[in-house]
Amino acid sequence: MMKPSLPGIYKVAYLHCWELPPNITYMAISGVPVGVYATPKVIETDGKAECDTETDFDNNSKIEKATLKFSTTESLPVHIHLAFVIYTVRGKKYIIGCKEAPYPIIKVKSTTGSPDGQRNIINYEITFTARKALVQCAV
């Protein structure tokens, strides 16, 4: 099992899964460039965002699991299926999620853990498992 991390995340955004083009995981596996034509909504993160990927083998096929963690004071619309766009300092963009099921799983944990004690910090952990879970894209 390999577990690389995505370095240099400076911005995280989200959009609805239905706004994505179909079959982006298969497009990424076959080397076809993936374009996202919707405008993602930027999330004002509190602190540093982290993204890790794990690669396993299941039935002689590669399965990838991406985990994105970040904190914010914003409440996201988690009652709908969301996809997340990650922007890196090297100018690359990655997407977690796809138009078809399975969708990313979003875990929410709310605390009052800000240094000044005045803000409500919401910790999000997004996990997505697919043949290609972290897809490089053009937004």
42-87 confidence digits (pLDDT tens):
999 888 899 999 988 878 888 999 999 999 988 999 899 999 999 9
Looking at per-residue pLDDT, the higher value among 119 and 85 belongs to 85
CA–CA separation, 76 and 80 (whole Å): 10
What is the pLDDT, as a whole number, of residue 62? 86
Tokens of 99: 């138009």
Q: Which of 47-51, 107-111, 130-134 bottoms out in mean pLDDT, i.e. has the lowest?
A: 107-111
3-state helix, strand, coil in the chain (%, to 5): 5, 50, 45
| Mean pLDDT computed over every residue of the chain | 87
What is the pLDDT, as a whole number, of residue 60? 80
E strand map for 8-120: 9-16, 41-43, 50-58, 61-72, 82-88, 93-96, 105-111
